[in-house]
Amino acid sequence: MGAGPSEGPEPGGAEPPGQRPPTLAVKPLSPILDALEAELRDRAATWTGGSDPFEEDDVFNDWALRIHEAQCQAYPALARFWEGRGSPRPGHWTEIPPVPAQAFKSTPLGPDGPEAVFRTSGTTRGGEKRGEHRIGRLSLYRAAARLSYRAALLPGGASVRLLSLVPHPEEDPHSSLARMVGFIALEDEVEEAVWYFRSTAGVLVEECRAWLAEACEDRTPVLILSTAFALAQLLEAMATRPVGLPAGSSLMETGGFKGHAVALGRDELYDRVWRTLDIGEPYIVGEYGMTELLSQAYDGQAGSAGPVGERRHHFPPWVRTRVLDPVSLEPADPGTRGVLAHFDLANAASVSHVLTEDLGVLEDGGGFRLLGRAEGSEMRGCSLMAESFIRSLEGRR
Amino acid sequence: MGTAGGSGKRARGAAGWWWSPDRDPPETFEAVGLLDVPRVGPADVTRLMARLRGSGGTLRTRAVRDIAETLGRTGERILDSELDDLCPQVAAEASLSEAMARRVVVGMAGGWTRSALSRLLESEFPDPGVLDGFRQVGGRMLHARGLGLTLHLGAGSVPGVGTTSLIRALLVKSPSLVKPGSGDVTLVVGFLRLLWEEDPELAACAAALYWRGGAEESRLLEDRAFQEADQVVVYGGWEVTERVRKSVPAHVRVVSHGPRVGVVVAGRDTSPEAVADAAAVFDQRGCVSPQVVLFLGTMEATAAWARRLHGALSDVAVEYPPGPVDPALASRLHQLRGALELRAAGGEEVLVLGGGGSSTVVVAGLVDVEPLGGRTVWIVPCRDRSALDRGLEAMGPVLQSVGVDEPALREIVAVRAAAAGASRIVPVRELAFPPAEWLHDGSRPLVELTRWAEWR
């Protein structure tokens, strides 16, 4: 293991695949969680992103309704919420009203006594409430995340050396992303993993530089896992001293630049990756994940990812995504932009149907095009808006 | 109407500029939203501002009463004969319904009439002649002068803000360049055209030029305008006002009107209709529009009044429909509504009414308040007067206007609200359109644009 808080417990923080948890944190949900986890684990060895029984509408719908029923029993408040929205006994998963992502900021969602609590990140301006997602079973998170990241980031099964520009899960135990990177570090293909990002100091540039220089001498490809912002920091620092990483090296970037002074378009970011690290566009994969969801979407497979402007994000088959009209919340016309709502079966222990503020378009060939966050229009006046109000009242109410 | 402004080679959109027709008109334009905006560079801005500065000599020879008379006549022309022409365009650029645009223009132009401007002058200066030369004021010989050149920077979409700001500067004899907000171009350009018809000499002391605020390509124009001005009056959110403060040279005065919040203190006898009307004006984009109601009463009484308010907001929407729905705002409202409904389902004392239509009413604690606009009113139950005081005090740094109707509350609220930071405590029906002489953000709007000299 490399530098940083990577010594000690396994970075994933969960039991290895194949072992069952000794107790179940969420008793009313236990049967469905057991069944779902078994389903996902069965796929672990074979699934490479191809067809899957969950793609059958009936299969998915049956799972979704069973999970919904279990969630209603486990969480009376959620049951009352859905009842209030006029959907006591839905016949199809699309009839289950999605719970807005913002609800995670005001209502604890997930079981009491969770194995982990994931929190959304605040902005640099602060004053923002942070969402909280209680995780009933980390093993289920790992199973759900694993199938997708293996397909997207470790498609050939070749050995890699891993550089994480995401905090170690011990340093940031409430980060779902950090936890996922911890899972990836446990994969057999990962020969070595180093964590060169600190929450207080940012990217450890000198350590990165030395490690990457050493990696260039080796033939083992490198896998870099980073937020877009940390990546931009690294590229800026290395711009005058680029390196040529071994063939087959790849990179996963996630997140945007919200709240940061520096912002780069993806075209420019990827171009800089190529010029600075010699990792070409086909080897750069974009990840879309949320604290509120246990499954992730990727926009390609390392080594064969398409041109950045043509990419579509794909979730695994146990997630269904709809694009909804932002005003009516009715399904948007095909090809029309709207807000994304995801139904993630892996969220069985908390709430599966989540309404986001992300904008996107569903594509004919499957997948969705991510268009960023629904930002406020220019129609503003001199009245104070939420962020400024909260910021100004910080500590006074 | 005059020949200047929008008379260039393209005639597709509304004019995004105006300056006196005896100066070179722009030659090329680009479409920015609904506007035709001249393609200009920093050198053009320098030339324009130099000419405006040069007009200051003429302006200072004019008597302030004469200037006020001319500006007032121009404002009255908007009310008397120009509404049908202006309002559809105002509605389109500010994303308001036509009925609301008309209401806004009439309300704002009410402060631009001869009587309103005369009242403004007299409320600011015991002898307005102090703007024409040295006068005896309280035993001292004083003269108030407007600065050499004022740049007005609007960053919002509240129609009328730019024109009000321009009128104030011209009253103190400061030549002006107005960069209006995106939803406020038509009124500024329209006012200047009418002023040119009334008084070309006075109109030549002002110009309007729209550029997209904050856009990378506009930075050069903006920076140059900051260099050339003696004073910058900026209206907008904190991001804008902070950016301007950082960018303006140290010797240039900055008068900043940042974002604020309007509040109503209500009890069970407060008319929900009056609150609904005040909240609906400008589609709640104005700092005078109430976003928060501090309601003195139990949760039950608050909830009952909230339902009446929601009904009243629906009624207002019939006469004054909201503008086109902003998808981002709609998305935020869905998030808000769902999150609050879930809290209510969990047993918390919160209530949300509406949310998908023309208005939203939320009953929740002050800690939950997130002003969103779009006719969203947050009602905070206050069980007693100490809770009311705490609410006012907490909002102190951002308080603007406080509306209060309950006779038993008026005096105590006035004292407490002023102590907290409010600059205006008025009956609810007067909230939406303050008079010309209002103490904007707690300052005297003409005095704050002047520099004083004493002769002993």
Q: Which chain B residues contact residue A380 at CB under 8 A?
A: 155-157, 236-237, 285, 373
Question: How many C-beta atoms surround the C-beta of residue A25 within 10 A?
Answer: 20
Superfamily of domain B261-430: Aldehyde Dehydrogenase; Chain A, domain 2 (3.40.309.10)
Chain length of chain B: 456
Give residue-wise pLDDT tens across range A225-260.
999 989 999 999 999 999 999 999 999 999 865 555
Nearest CA in chain A to B95: A379
Average pLDDT rounded to a whole number, residues B6-13: 45
Scanning the structure block, which residue is given the tokens 């409202």? Answer: B333
The whole-number pLDDT of residue A14 equals: 46
- How far does the CA of residue A376 sit from the closest CA of chain B (Å)? 5
- Does A45 reach chain B within 8 Å, measured CB to CB? no
Residue A11 has pLDDT above 90, yes or no: no
Give residue-wise pLDDT tens across range A97-133.
999 999 999 888 999 889 999 998 764 444 567 888 9
Under 8 Å between Cβ of A108 and A134: yes
The whole-number pLDDT of residue B74 equals: 98
CA distance B28 to B30: 7
Neighbour order of strands in the sheet with B231-235: B17-18, B206-209, B176-179, B150-154, B231-235, B253-257
- Does A375 reach chain B within 8 Å, measured CB to CB? yes
Q: Do B157 and A84 lie within an 8 Å CB cutoff? A: no
ipTM of the complex: 0.86
Q: Which chain B residues contact residue A105 at CB under 8 A?
A: 339
Q: Which chain A residues contact residue B258 at CB under 8 A?
A: 382
Q: Which two tokens stand for residue A134?
A: 């209680």
Enumerate the domain spans of chain B: 14-258+441-455, 261-430
CA distance A41 to A61: 20
CA distance B18 to A209: 56
Query: Can you say whether the dihedral through the CA atoms of B335, B337, B340, B341 is positive or negative?
Result: negative
Burial pattern A303-335, b for ≥16 Cβ within 10 A else e, equals: bebeebeebbbbbbbbbbbbbbbbbebeebeee
Q: Do A385 and B259 lie within an 8 Å CB cutoff? A: yes
Band (B252; pLDDT cuts 50, 70, 90)? very high
Q: Which chain A residues contact residue B343 at CB under 8 A?
A: 103, 106-107
Using CB atoms, pick whichever of B182, B286, B287 lies closest to residue A378.
B182
The whole-number pLDDT of residue A219 equals: 87
- Does A372 reach chain B within 8 Å, measured CB to CB? no
Q: Do B373 and A80 lie within an 8 Å CB cutoff? A: no
Q: Do B327 and A103 lie within an 8 Å CB cutoff? A: no
Superfamily of domain B14-258+441-455: Aldehyde Dehydrogenase; Chain A, domain 1 (3.40.605.10)
Scanning the structure block, which residue is given the tokens 């990827």? Answer: A270
Q: How far is CA A240 from the centre of its chain?
A: 32
Average pLDDT rounded to a whole number, residues B86-93: 95
Residue B9 has pLDDT above 80, yes or no: no
Q: Do A384 and B155 lie within an 8 Å CB cutoff? A: no
Give, in degrees to the nearest 5, the angle at Cα B130 between B127 and B136.
Answer: 70
Scanning the structure block, which residue is given the tokens 């007693």? Answer: B384
Average pLDDT rounded to a whole number, residues B301-312: 97
Band (B34; pLDDT cuts 50, 70, 90)? confident
Disruptive mutation site among B331, B351, B433 for chain A (greatest number of A CBs within 10 Å): B331
Residue B378 has pLDDT above 60, yes or no: yes
The whole-number pLDDT of residue A17 equals: 39
Give residue-wise pLDDT tens across range B43-58.
999 999 999 999 999 9
φ and ψ at residue A235, rounded to 5 degrees: -65, -40
The whole-number pLDDT of residue A54 equals: 86
Q: Which chain A residues contact residue B161 at CB under 8 A?
A: 381-382
Give residue-wise pLDDT tens across range B122-145.
999 999 999 999 999 999 999 999
Residue with the bigger pLDDT between A24 and A324: it is: A324
The whole-number pLDDT of residue A329 equals: 93
Percent of chain A scoring above 90 in pLDDT: 64
Question: How many C-beta atoms surround the C-beta of residue B430 within 10 A?
Answer: 16
Give residue-wise pLDDT tens across range B395-441.
988 899 999 999 999 999 999 999 999 999 999 999 999 999 999 99
- Does A290 reach chain B within 8 Å, measured CB to CB? no
Q: Mean pLDDT across chain B, nearest whole number?
A: 92
The whole-number pLDDT of residue A89 equals: 84
